Structures are given as C-alpha cells and as structure tokens.
Amino acid sequence: MDFRPFISALTLALCAVLLSSCSIIQPKGAGLTAYQTYDRPAKLPADPDRVSVKVSLSRQRTYVMEGTEVLMVMPVSVGAPGTSTPRGDFRITHKLERKRSKNGSPIPYWCGFQPKVGFHTGWLRHYACTDGCIRMHENLAPKFFRLVKVGTPVNISYSQPEDATHGKIPLPPDSGPLPDYSPGFYKGDGYFTHHKEPTFN
C-alpha cells in the first residue's frame, strides 16, 4: 500500500497546527508596536544651505545630504504604477507642519516640491503604493521637516549612488496588515503629534 498520500496529508495538518500556534504565541499588536517604535538616526547640518535630498524610487529610500555627507537615510513609500512619483530635479517650495488634504485627511509635516506632490507622514508599505507623494514614517517626518527648508534641492531618480553604500537599513513592518487608527483620531489633531520627539546626533 502506498502511504505517501497519508503522510502528505499528515504533514500539511502538522504545518497548519504549527502555523496557528505561531499566530497565537505572537503577542497581539506586536507588529504595530514595532512600527510605532521604529526610528532612524539623523544629524543636523553644519551649513543648512548645503543640504540636499535624494530619492531612490527603486529602493524606496530617501537620503538627506550635506554635500557628500549623509545626514539621514529613511525608508519611504513612493507612487504606485499609474500614479508614479515624478522624476527629476526639484526644490522644496513650501512647508506646513499641519496640513490636510482636500478630503480632510491629515498629511503632517508636508514638504511640497510640486503642485499637490510632496513629502508627508503616512503609513509605509514595502512596495510603491501612493498617489505620487512620498510618504515618511511618523517618527522620521519631523526630522526630515527640520533638516530641509524652502529651496532645498530634491533629486528623484530610479536609483541613487547611495543605494549601494547606505541603502541597506532596517525597515519597519509593512503597514498593510497592521490595524489602522480610528477615524476620529484622524479627524482631530492626534495624528499631527503622534510621533517620537525628534532627536539628532
């Protein structure tokens, strides 16, 4: 008698039990806690006039530079296919710490570089997912906002030289499976202050 079908079924059942056990053992909300505690180091520039920003679309990384020195490296989410983030050379045109979109959604730490397109706080995913804007993690957006000013150059390309030298950084959990904040939280001012106090080296 061929026992292979029974062994395969038993193996699948055992895997299912083990996987369900893992999901029970994992503390509820652990992913959200890991997301909310995520942070990256940043350094203030000696000369703010020499600060520039480089965005790598393929790696979903943003590099804040002072000349050739990297002040901060952060993961970002960029435009999805069909609503891609524009490529080219731009400058920060305006900054607004507490901005809302036309539908009332909060987009904290807004740093615009084109009409209706800019950097702002938002949930990060590990794939291109935005409507063209560049989303920043809630703990990193205040740092970016402090490092740049109106007139800061921004280069957005498929890749950047820094991808190879500085692009390998720890990432926060993908926000896709995480529970969202309540609608009331977004209607109020909570999301504008929902971040760690920014610190610099």
| pLDDT tens by residue, 29-87 | 579 999 999 999 999 999 999 999 999 999 999 999 999 999 999 999 999 999 999 99
Count of other CB atoms within 10 angstroms of residue 1: 4
How big is the CA angle at 187 (ends 186 and 192), to the nearest 5 degrees? 50
* Mean pLDDT value across the chain: 88
- What domains are defined for the chain? 41-192 (2.40.440.10)
Residue with tokens 């904040």: 181
Global confidence as pTM: 0.85
Q: What are the mean pLDDT values of the chain's consecutive 10-residue runs (201 residues total)?
A: 40 37 40 96 98 98 98 98 98 98 95 97 98 98 98 98 98 95 93 96 92
Q: Which secondary-structure segment (H or E) carries 199?
A: none
Q: Which residues contact 187 (CB under 8 A, 6 or more apart)?
A: 104
Beta-strand pair 134-136/110-114: unpaired
What length is written for the chain? 201
Characterize the bridge pairing of strands 134-136 and 69-77.
antiparallel
